[in-house]
Amino acid sequence: MRAFVWTRYGPPSGLELRELAKPTPKATELLIRIRATTVTAGDAEIRSFRVPRFLWLPLRLYTGLTRPRRRILGQELAGEVESVGRDVKGFRPGDQVLATTGLRFGAYAEYACLPEESRDGVVGLKPANLTYEEAAAVPTGGLEALHLLKTGKLQTGTQILINGAGGSIGTFAVQLAKYYRAEVTAVDSLEKLDMLRSIGADRVIDFAHEGFTRNGQVYDVILDVTGRIPLSPILRSLRSNGRCLLANPRLSDMVRRLWVSKTSQKKVVFGASNERADELRVLTKLIETGELRPVIDRIYPFEKIPEAHSYVDGGHKKGNVAITVA
């Protein structure tokens, strides 16, 4: 099979197209013929190893100290089940599926073996009303947005601000917040504002011209996807019993969380989603009923995965960048 091998940390040129042996599923695994994958901001950050300092050593021990040991990157995929191990109960050959592989990676290939059940990654049936490219873009951003907004306890009339709303997590978060009947203010760059209005944002802010922490507005919930703003000004923009949801918390934010909870009624919430099958089913049901849809910026052919990485490195993608594998 063809696969892009991750040969070194650094620029996209370290991803090299090679021929590898087709994998064989274990007893509890599915062999999936991959039809589409994605390039997420997380994929690009891991490739170049632009990660927070406190995560540098544990991640490097996992991925390889001097050069990558995880040969194939890619965290999301959609495709068809080609065969199943003898102990697999919930899937059969021919099923159309979508999946996130978690830190197992492996989606930049024509085939992948994934466990039917895992604590790291999840597989589910593909909604019939999505293309493979659209389906591949659902699991990572969708599950993270769903997890964070559930902790935000949104209800009708909740005023929520989403900072970094134009990416994978953010575009799902805007739509989910509207599904919960919240009032959504979306913050991102100027070129993404029309798209954010089109998916339901009630108000949009161009971060280059208006700092949401300095305009005097306060919110019930603030979801910060970017991890670039200090916690203190975000907390000042929260109501007295508000919730701050952090998709990419800094170490200082983690340290301050306990102090905030002891000295005020405000809550600071972070933590990655559990990537559970039941939560993926929530997303796919909302997609099937038309409440939710992945935003696709660009679609690249499989051979141009390095080019797609270069585009994502620029920081201007709107929603998701998908890859057609076959």
Query: Does the residue 288 lie in any domain?
Result: no
Tell whether 248 is covered by a domain: yes
Q: Are residues 173 and 265 in the same domain?
A: yes
pLDDT in tens, the chain (326 residues): 999 999 999 999 999 999 999 999 999 999 999 999 999 999 999 999 998 888 889 989 989 999 998 899 999 999 999 999 999 999 999 999 999 998 899 999 999 999 998 888 899 999 999 999 999 999 999 999 999 999 999 999 999 999 999 999 999 999 999 999 999 999 999 999 999 999 999 999 998 888 888 888 999 999 999 988 888 899 999 999 999 999 888 877 777 777 787 778 888 888 776 678 899 999 999 999 999 999 999 999 999 999 999 999 998 899 999 999 97
Distances (CA, A) of 123 to 42, 75, 212, 267: 19, 12, 38, 32
Please answer whether residues 1 and 111 qualify as being in contact, where contact means their C-beta atoms are separated by less than 8 angstroms: yes
- Domain annotation covers residue 277: no
Expressed as residue numbers, the domain containing 235 is 140-270
Does residue 130 lie within any of the structural domains? yes
Asked if 294 contacts 137 with a C-beta cutoff of 8 angstroms, the reply is: yes
List all residues 6 or more positions away from 140 whose beta carbon is below 8 Å from its beta carbon: 38, 40, 42, 75, 76, 100, 168
- Sort residue 122 into left (φ over 0), alpha (ψ -120 to 50) or beta: beta
- Give domain status of residue 276, yes or no: no
Same domain for 149 and 123: no
Residues 200 and 165 in one domain: yes
Q: State whether 213 and 98 are in the same domain.
A: no
Whether residues 106 and 152 share a domain: the answer is no
- Residue 109 DSSP code: B
Report whether 323 contacts 305 (CB < 8 A): yes
| Structural domain count of the chain | 2
Strands 159-163 and 219-224: parallel
The answer to whether residues 87 and 51 belong to one domain is yes
Residue 303 maps to a domain: yes
**Residue 287 domain-assigned (yes or no):** no
Tokens 């009708």 label which residue?
A: 156
What pTM was computed for the model?
0.94
Strands (E), the chain: 2-6, 15-19, 29-39, 76-84, 96-100, 111-115, 122-125, 159-163, 183-188, 203-206, 219-224, 238-246, 267-270, 296-301, 320-324
Two tokens, residue 190: 């100027």
Distance (Å, whole) CA 65 – CA 188: 35
Q: Domain check: are 130 and 238 in the same one?
A: no
Same-domain pairing of 240 and 256: yes
* 151 lies in the same domain as 72: no
Residue 302 makes CB contacts below 8 A (sequence gap 6+) with: 2, 323, 324, 325, 326
Are 273 and 146 within 8 A, CB to CB?
A: yes
Considering the domain architecture, whether residues 251 and 147 belong to the same structural domain is answered as yes
Do residues 128 and 144 both lie within one domain?
no
User: In CATH, what number is assigned to the domain containing residue 258?
Assistant: 3.90.180.10
Please indicate, yes or no, whether residues 88 and 59 belong to a single structural domain of this protein: yes
The reply to whether 299 falls in a domain is yes
